[in-house]
Structure 1
């Protein structure tokens, strides 16, 4: 059983992974601004992505990676508790995301399906992101010679 600790300090662990380049998939969603993302938000975004991509991708099976490390715990006290009773209990995990970090990666998707998914997610959430792809991945129509 893993015991979670309450974070009392503002020090963030430095991860040795490269978060601004694609590692697994061919298309990714890159964050544009500083923000705090909770585990509940990531889980709902993941659920919506899986639900929406099942409608879009029919023949191929897509792969999907979420690349967030939760390094903070958020605590909450009851509304009716008096002052001086200590720190509240843990209710959620969160992480601070810098601009340029890749949140999600996809494989076996076309760029048009990724744009459709990005437009759908921008309507639902306030997270601002852009679509990135590998350099050798063809975005537009192939030119004929």
Structure 2
């Protein structure tokens, strides 16, 4: 009897937990060949060096950028904003007391590895001075990373 309940409990846990694979280390140094042009908006932020963002950093960037976007465009509500950051790798960590061997470790967060030249945010229906103010704010959010503002018209 208890065996059946354990199997049912195990099936419920197994179905509700997502299967995420552990990934290898990734060091990308070449330029991107797919995400280097604007697709949705008029303006965009382009990363000019390869960088890694964790899921928590992406959420913080999105939250802060959306707050600043609401402050900058206080009179107009018809702006559009696209986030092109999706996590594609998992990061693992072993406990501090573990010895060598014993496997890779458990997954503790997800991350995205970006190549140099990839666009991370796109904007539409913003004026030039608004996008410049937003870009100055965004540069302060990510220090030690070269970022460029690109325009569809140029």
TM-score, normalised to structure 1, is 0.80
Contact 2:61 2:141 in 1 (8 A): no
Give the equivalent residue in structure 2 for 1:52.
68
Give the equivalent residue in structure 2 for 1:6.
22
Distance (whole Å) between structure 2 residues aligned to residue 78 and residue 114 of structure 1: 44
Point out where structure 1 has 5 or more consecutive residues left out of the alignment: 137-145
**Paired positions, count:** 132
Say which one has the larger Rg: 2
- Residue 57 (structure 1) shift: 0.7
Question: Which one of the candidate residues 90, 94, 98 is aligned to 2:107?
Answer: 90
Distance (whole Å) between structure 2 residues aligned to residue 79 and residue 9 of structure 1: 20
1:119 aligns with 2:130: no
Point out where structure 2 has 5 or more consecutive residues left out of the alignment: 1-15
What is the CA RMSD across the aligned residues, in angstroms? 2.2
Name whichever structure is richer in helix by fraction: 2
Range that drifts further, 38-47 or 61-70: 61-70
Distance (whole Å) between structure 1 residues aligned to residue 110 and residue 146 of structure 2: 20
Give the equivalent residue in structure 2 for 1:99.
116
Give the equivalent residue in structure 2 for 1:27.
43
Distance (whole Å) between structure 1 residues aligned to residue 19 and residue 40 of structure 2: 31
Distance (whole Å) between structure 1 residues aligned to residue 114 and residue 95 of structure 2: 28
1:18-69, Cα deviation, whole Å (9 max, x unpaired): 3111111111101111122222221111111011111111122222111123
- Residue 70 (structure 1) shift: 2.3
TM-score, normalised to structure 2, is 0.76
